[in-house]
Amino acid sequence: MTSGKIRWGILGPGSIAKSFAGGVAGSRTGELVALGARNPAKPGLAETFPGARILDGYEALLADRQVDAVYISIPHPGHAEWAIKAAEAGKHVLCEKPLALTAFEADAMMHAARKAGTFLGEAFMYRLHPQTRQLIELIKSGAIGEVRMIKSSFGFAMPRFMPEHRLYANELAGGGILDVGGYPVSMARLIAGAAVGQPFLEPDKVVGAAHLGQSGVDEWASALLTFANGIVAEVSCSISLDQDNVLRILGTRGRIEVPDFWFAGGNRDVGPGRIEVIRSGAAREVISLGETRHLYSFEVDAAGEAILAGRQEFAWPGMSWADSLGTLRVLDKWRHAAGLEYEIEKPAKRVTTLSGRSLRTDGKAIPKRAIPDLPRQASVLALGFEDFRSFSSGSILLDAYFEAGGNLFDTGFVYGAGYTEALLGQWLKNRGVREQSVIIAKGAHSPLCYPDVIAKQLAQSLDRLQTDHVDIYFMHRDNPDVPVDEFVDAMDAEARAGRIRGLFGGSNWTTERMDAAIAYAEKNGRQRPGALSNNFSLAEMLEPIWPGCITSSTDAWKAWLTARQMPNFAWSSQGRGFFTERAGRDRTDNEELVRVWYSEKNFGRRDRAIELARKLGKSPIHVALAYVLAQPFPSVPLIGPRTLDELEDSLKALDIKLTPEDVAWLDEGPERRRA
């Protein structure tokens, strides 16, 4: 930094980049020093961006040591890639809206910034204009009573359908929802929050619709947001339809109207600020702020102040990370309701990681181990990913897990109504890593827990997975009314046909049924069941989380697993939140935690996990996961992170090496005092 100012570089020239440059020129904290352009010889760049060195390409901008912060103004699909690369290069980032195509992408961007210690902000310039703060003060003061409804739009009409224009281009994520829909959505959330004294509020329900035009992008769209405090927000956007673009806030004693709110009643250069308050029986009150500063200078200074103060996020009313994620989650739901998925989000086009690089295959953070009768070594942690419903969202986590060294994937016929298997199949084919991966499949779930279901469901699973075999297969439940030999015969037949090429066994099976199955297989020349997938954790499950579930955390079970040396792929291996702050002797708000895990014996284990975690500089949940890994039998925890932060946090458990004495002390307490 020179003279205490942030040295800005602009990544990608364009009309909004020009406006941002004007904002930098009018700011107190910044100066424009460079522009990264794919075509640096384009006429007019030097005149449009005076004082900026014109660099050849985006990489050159990120490599420039004279640049402290980068403003990203390229089309939406490049936001995540270049924000991540900028963070990795140690650059602060202010990224044009939308921050990313989805909340999942934005979360990955925040993960990169968090690791790098850099600033990341979403450039909704209206949020930093003084008009916004004035509006919030009116709401908080009760100027129109209690807020009941919000009506907000941002829409305009392009001259005609222009397939070459970014707003109509499917490959550039065009359309109104992503380009301008975030303005009314973020504003509605801000006002709903202000009405209850919070920075923002998330809607309980989002109902959306849109007209998808010739290129498959939304040309006009509307959504209805309902909030827990009773506020209803009607939001709309368009690129092919003029709208009045007046923000209306309706309360019990009047309403507020703000014309052309998004530009503070002005244009991209100056927004003077104008708010109108209309009360029943009273004259219309006009509040004019008379601002003369450049419209974009406010966000430049807000970003600069955050960077100079060492903060990684905007201060309120700027868009914090949680605020940006909340807005994008609404846009995700809106798009889903409208059936809008861009071609660039589908497997055929998304062939690299989110950072734009090929998938790395040499990860070592997650070690691998040999498991008896499994032809390929498997990572010590298995990944479950049932929560994802699109390739673009799920591939972010799958990529990160694989690049860390993970190759063991947990799926099931019923997971996500089959989508989990389909997603994994798409990813394995897209990334070309089927031969390096180990797939766990499950079938015969209640109520269809019968031998003749196994072949039928496995055939469908293989079709979804786009492979001719799985490596590990579990019956998802047991049916004690069916002789165990019939199940063994059915699974053995699939192994002989080559559709199971490793282990098979039972998920949620008892020791008695497993012993009987093994005895039958050995006596009759069948492949013996060689694995289990039962619950196992430091906390003992007191009653089943779901009907038909079995825990293997009891002393009798541990003795059986050790004697048999039976591999157990442990679900809920971290106690489903019992070892986090969600649980506690005085915290009884979570019905599942109380019902399934709360006992004095389990709390004693939790206390010891907390004690050991403090000594090791880890968290209790890390100790709980390390406990599962340190068992005297092959024990493979199944983890289900939803974000990259959660995945990275789980991997911290791999740094903990527990001795048999540590394991016994955690389990049994003071009589096995840890040295």
Sequence-distant (6+) residues with CB within 8 A of 158 are: 165, 167, 168, 239, 240
What number of other Cβ atoms are within 10 A of residue 42's Cβ? 12
Residues 574, 578, 582, 587: what is their CA dihedral angle, to the nearest 10 degrees?
Answer: 180
Please state, in angstroms and rounded to a whole number, the distance separating the CA atoms of residues 123 and 658. Answer: 47
What tokens were used for 672?
Answer: 């096995």
Sequence-distant (6+) residues with CB within 8 A of 546 are: none
Please state, in angstroms and rounded to a whole number, the distance separating the CA atoms of residues 264 and 522. Answer: 79
Block residue for tokens 């997650």 = 366
Catalytic one of 91, 97, 442, 618: 97
Comparing CA positions, the residue from 451, 530, 448, 446 lying closest to residue 485 is 451
Please state, in angstroms and rounded to a whole number, the distance separating the CA atoms of residues 581 and 590. Answer: 12
What number of other Cβ atoms are within 10 A of residue 283's Cβ? 8
What tokens were used for 291?
Answer: 């601002």
Starting at the edge strand that comes first in sequence, how are the strands of the sheet with 147-155 ordered?
A: 205-212, 218-226, 232-238, 147-155, 246-251, 254-259, 274-278, 285-288
What tokens were used for 251?
Answer: 């309360």
What tokens were used for 280?
Answer: 């029943």
- 652 has catalytic annotation: no
111 close to 645: Cβ distance less than 8 angstroms: yes
Question: DSSP labels for 435-475?
Answer: GG-EEEEEE--TT--SHHHHHHHHHHHHHHHTSS-EEEEEE
Comparing CA positions, the residue from 50, 61, 3 lying closest to residue 24 is 50
Q: Which residue numbers are catalytic?
A: 97
